[in-house]
Structure 1
């Protein structure tokens, strides 16, 4: 029987769906045939579960689930190097792993992220998700300290460069694609604060707090927006 991928996609995006049951269905299918369409969706579900662990404050589970997402995304990318979805979810896996790792691993994941992001952006430059991920990468590279850069140069040679302006350009593109993206308001605010533009940052913080929470990422963003409001909007 053919898989109804549209139903799987709905379950992936539905905050209330039973992800454990969905993973069992996907795993059973992979045991019959290792399909790219199943592999990248497995990565997507594991990323949802990783975000859930992040919301619950379970960092150990967050990292282990992000590693599972990476495992499936890596298989998918190797099976089809020209598939946008494979690179998209690989970027998401690497981004989450980088955010939960020490300097050495963070730089390694950052290098890998850039490779996959370049491919994804070339394949589909108007995708909101990949533009957001790329903006976050630019932000993280721009905030690397002197010691982290030296470690990176010793391990990998030349370190990729990016500025706050690069990050802002990516986040502005996201805003053009979806002005209601709550987590994008957070990233705009973060970047503007880092770039010493607190006046404009306040506007993004205040507007972001008025938007509805539609995903776990939005719930996490709302919490941080509240913290930024208390710190910068007095």
Structure 2
């Protein structure tokens, strides 16, 4: 399976249940991962798969926002990923806003604890 098929499966899951915040988040993470590929990684993926999947930070933000609109504050990591993506887009104002929202989501799991540390670290870099 390649990245394009992964995107198709996630998109189909959203078509079948457009109110599933988790599916929107997964698609946002997919977009973020492929938007983050370096030139070298894109060339390596081209050698392995032909045409590598492409995505943009704007697409990632849209899907993370879709997840938040469906279920506000449902997952600390979703708000963090919005903040992180806005940082990659050089939009510090939105990054701070979403990192603040992520920080405010209560810590319920071990993952939340790690995300909280990531939020603190990213806020310190601004």
TM-score, with length taken from structure 2: 0.89
- Mapped to 1, the partners of 2:3 and 2:80 lie a distance apart of 21
- Mapped to 2, the partners of 1:116 and 1:150 lie a distance apart of 24
Deviation (angstroms), 1:115: 3.7
Which residue of 2 is the match for residue 134 of structure 1?
27
Alignment of 1:146-161 (within 5 A): 146-161=39-54
Q: How far does the alpha carbon of each residue in 1:25-54 deviate from its partner, in whole angstroms, 9 at most, with x for none?
A: xxxxxxxxxxxxxxxxxxxxxxxxxxxxxx
- Mapped to 2, the partners of 1:173 and 1:215 lie a distance apart of 23
- Mapped to 2, the partners of 1:119 and 1:210 lie a distance apart of 32
Shift of the 163–193 alpha-carbon distance from structure 1 to 2, 3 Å rule, reads same
**Larger CA Rg, structure 1 vs 2:** 1
Residue 76 of structure 2 contacts residue 102 of structure 2 at CA under 8 Å; is this kept in 1? yes
- Mapped to 1, the partners of 2:70 and 2:52 lie a distance apart of 30
- Mapped to 2, the partners of 1:147 and 1:179 lie a distance apart of 37
Coordinate RMSD, CA, aligned? 1.7
Q: How far does the alpha carbon of each residue in 1:146-180 deviate from its partner, in whole angstroms, 9 at most, with x for none?
A: 11111111111111211111000001111111221
Correspondence 1:173 to 2:66: yes
TM-score, with length taken from structure 1: 0.50
Question: What count of residue pairs does the alignment treat as equivalent?
Answer: 125
Unaligned stretches of 5+ in structure 2? none
Q: How far does the alpha carbon of each residue in 1:4-43 deviate from its partner, in whole angstroms, 9 at most, with x for none?
A: xxxxxxxxxxxxxxxxxxxxxxxxxxxxxxxxxxxxxxxx
> Which one scores higher on RCO, CA 8 angstroms, separation ≥ 6?
2
Residue 2 of structure 2 contacts residue 49 of structure 2 at CA under 8 Å; is this kept in 1? no
Correspondence 1:184 to 2:61: no
- Mapped to 1, the partners of 2:53 and 2:6 lie a distance apart of 11
2:37 to 117, 120, 144: 144
1:217 to 97, 101, 111: 111
The 3-state SS of whatever aligns with 2:72 is coil
- Mapped to 1, the partners of 2:8 and 2:48 lie a distance apart of 17
Moved over 3 A (4+): 108-112
